[in-house]
Chains A and B, each alone.
Chain A
Amino acid sequence: MSLNQQTQVSARGKKSFEVIVIRDRCKECSLCIELCPPKILERENSYNKFGYRPTRVTDNLKCVGCRICEYACPEFAIFVKEVKP
C-alpha cells in the first residue's frame, strides 16, 4: 500500500476532499492558512489580478473536510468540495 492511499483512508473514512481557491477573490488575509488544522494551505508566490498572493493548497489528500477555511473566509474565495473516490 502506498503512502498516499494510507493518508486517504485516515482522512474521514472513505471520503476525500478538494480545496478550491477562487484566486482573484483572495485578499491574502491568511485566516484560512492559520486556521487550517492539517496545515495544508500556504500562500502562493504569484499575484492575482488585484495584487494579492492568494492561498494555495499543498496537499488535497490531507484535507479532512472540516471546512474551517470555507467558513472563515470573508470573501467566498475558498471552499471544500467532496470528491467521489
Chain B
Amino acid sequence: MDFAMIFFILVGALSVATAVGVVTSRVAVHSALFLLVHFATLAILYVTLNAQFLAAAQIIVYAGGIVILILFVIMLIGSAPLETRAGYRSWVPYAGLALGLLMLAGMAMTMLQMPLTPTDPNANQGGAPILLGVQIYSQNILLVELAAVLLLVALLGALLLARQPKTEETTIS
C-alpha cells in the first residue's frame, strides 16, 4: 500500500462522494458546485495518469466553462420546486440502479481477475503539452479540423435556439 495507492483511494472517494452529491441535491446550485469539485478531482486523477495537458484542459473547459454556463442557466431559469410526478418515477430509478449494479458486477468480475499495470513505468511520458500537441497536429490533424467545425456549428445552433421569439418590435421589415 504505497503513497500512490492511498492518494488514489482518497481522491477516488472524494470523486464518488461529490458525484453522489450532484445526483441527490435538492438545490440546483448545490448540484452545480458538487459537479465543480467532481471535475477538479478528475483533473487530479488525470495528473496521476500522466495526462498533464488534459488535466489543465479539464479545469479550463469543464470546471471553468461548462459549470459556469450551467450556473448562468440556473440563474436565468431559476429552480422552482417541481410539481408533477409521473407514474414511472416509482420504478425507473430503481430499475436503473439495478442495471447499473449488474453492470458493475460484470465489469468487476472480469477486471479484478487481471489487475493491469503498465510494464515500463518510465515509458508513458506523452501527456506533456508539447508531446500531445505534436501528436494532435501531425497525426490527428483531421480530428482538430472536425472539432473546429463542430464547435462552429454548435455556436451557431445555440445562438439560434436561444433567441427570443419574434415580436412586433424585433422584426426587420
Partners in one complex: no
Query: B residues touching A (Cβ–Cβ < 8 Å)?
Result: none
